[in-house]
Structure 1
Amino acid sequence: MGTTGPESGGLADDRALLGRTSTAERVADILRTRIAEGFFPPGTRLSEDSIGGALGVSRNTLREAFRLLTHERLLVHELNRGVFVRVLAVDDVTDIYRTRRLVERSVLHDLGEPPFELGGLVRAVTGGERDARDGDWKGVSTANIHFHRELVALAGSDRMDELMRGVLAELRLVFHMVDDPRALHEPYLIRNRKILDALRAGERTKAERLLVEYLDDSRDQLVQVYTHLMAGDPPTPTG
């Protein structure tokens, strides 16, 4: 009786949506990870038939997953053409870094008193250094993303974590457009280590300054690379 009364808001009628929604979210998680890993590079057309068949999900579920990722600005729907992994513009790059500067700087600025819980940052830094020694520059890129995700996690805010997850996923789209990942990521291994060392020493203000310099330099480097790239022949949709 209680589930059908006015206090339920008629939610019983929506019960069937629960399974489909959770499945769509799981599919979106899978595709988000594959996009971040470069399995679907920017400009790639996503085939409903091949992806739906591979994952064993319905067309409606897959379309809902596409909708979720379009909302996250990872995909774009082109009328009569299909769904594609986004190719970001220079303005997207600058906006990503504007958001990163606001979020990441505020985390360090508002940190409490040391010592700080730095286990996640330590693992990200040492993992990136290990991957660099092995010549795994894709791994270095992933470790760098983890470093900044763990830095934001210092705030202990689920909202900031969720916001940063989307921002960093978009950033990976930018990284995948760069031809020389070593030149892009290697200089920032040392800078990650310096930020970590400052936090270990309890020098929050120094860590904040190092982070701001890091983000500004990274933005300028990527904007320069991206400007040259867009002046040539940007990736065309494939698939």
Structure 2
Amino acid sequence: MTAREAGDLADDRALLGRTSTAERVADILRGRVAEGWFPPGTRLSEDSIGGALGVSRNTLREAFRLLTHERLLVHELNRGVFVRVLAVDDVEDIYRTRRLVECAVVRGLGHPPYPLEGLAAAVAEGEAAAHAGDWPGVSTANIHFHRELVALAGSARTDELMRGVLAELRLAFHLVADPRVLHQPYLARNREILDALRAGERATAERLLARYLDDSRARVAAAYARAVEAPSSPTP
């Protein structure tokens, strides 16, 4: 970890407040993994991260344990803790889970209008990032879109489930060589889903979403398979 990275992570210390817990540390690290700050295969330094956050070694180890249970980290005996590198089967399974959850959320929406401000902001975020040529930013905006979509259920448990699922998916995104090819097709599709929900067309939105996720699964799994087969792929 560089001095600049340590300084950035230290900025998160304020999130811990006076009731510093392993769960809160895990929340911070989960977010950093999801944003690509710790790429797959990265060894996590207890000294650097614990020092930056100002937490004890035991607290940090408990946070690592929680994220290992969520399949974001792996512990290698006598080597340390690493950000997990997914298998292709993991990517397929993540998409099966997403389809079950996200489509069920849309199907279960009540009568319109729906609170779509967060969803609209995520669409605008993605379009602005694409205009700037920031394709990792498009990827982040896309994750925000699906997180906001699931948030329409108003369920803290569903939100928590999807935070972990989407963070795990980002582990696949970080190894794909061309994020533009991967994410650009879904900008227009995100807007189509948003427009359908604005019009109160819940069944149309669910149909668009299901097709979206099926297409994305095939595209991401194929791109990821090529990436992990490449000789330069990082490994723990």
Same fold (TM over 0.5): yes
Please list the CA deviations of residues 193-239 of structure 1 after superposition, one character each: whole Å capped at 9, or x if unmatched.
000111111111111110011000000001111222232333123xx
Segments of structure 2 that go 5 or more residues without pairing to the other structure are 1-16
Measured after TM superposition, the shift of residue 143 of structure 1 is: 1.1
> Which AA in structure 2 matches 1:145?
I
Offset at residue 183 of structure 1 (A) = 1.1
DSSP-derived class of the 1:77 partner: strand
The residue that corresponds to 2:186 in the other structure is 188
Superimposed CA distance per residue, residues 139-166 of structure 1 (whole angstroms, 9 cap, x where no aligned partner): 2111111111111111111111111111
**What does residue range 40-189 of structure 1 map to in structure 2 within 5 Å?**
40-189=38-187
What residue identity is the alignment partner of 2:195?
A: D
SS at match of 2:74: strand
Alignment of 1:201-216 (within 5 A): 201-216=199-214
Partner residue in 2 for 1:236 = 235
Of structures 1 and 2, the larger Rg is shown by 1
| Aligned residues of 2:22 and 2:62 also touching (Cα < 8 A) | yes
Shift in Å, 1:24: 1.8
Of residues 3, 7, 25, the one that matches 1:27 is 25
- How far apart in 1 are the matches of 2:113 and 2:50? 48
State the distance in 2 between where 1:81 and 1:177 align: 22
8 Å Cα contact 2:177-2:227 kept in structure 1: no
CA RMSD of aligned residues (A): 1.6
Percent identity of equivalent pairs? 78
Partner Cα separation in structure 2 for residue 204 and residue 144 of structure 1: 20
Change (3 A) 1:44 1:151: same
Q: Which moved more, 1:114-123 or 1:98-107?
A: 114-123
Counterpart-to-counterpart distance in 2, 1:150 and 1:167: 14
Counterpart position of 1:221 = 219
Q: Is the 8 A contact 2:40 2:175 kept in 1?
A: yes
The DSSP-based 3-state class of the residue aligned with 2:21 is helix
Deviates more, 1:64-73 or 1:19-28: 19-28
Give, in whole Å, the separation in 2 of the partners of 1:57 and 1:91: 35
Which deviations, in whole Å up to 9, do the C-alpha atoms of 1:105-150 show, x marking residues without a partner?
0111111122211111111111111111111222211111111111
Aligned amino acid, residue 235 of structure 1:
P
Question: Is 191-200 or 49-58 further displaced after alignment?
Answer: 49-58
- Structure 1 spans left out of the alignment, 5+ residues: 1-18
Query: Is this contact kept in 2: 1:20–1:61, CA < 8 A?
Result: no
Q: How far is 1:59 from its partner?
A: 1.2
Shift of 1:172: 0.9
How far does the alpha carbon of each residue in 1:5-28 deviate from its partner, in whole angstroms, 9 at most, with x for none?
xxxxxxxxxxxxxx9984322222
Which residue identity is paired with 1:143?
A
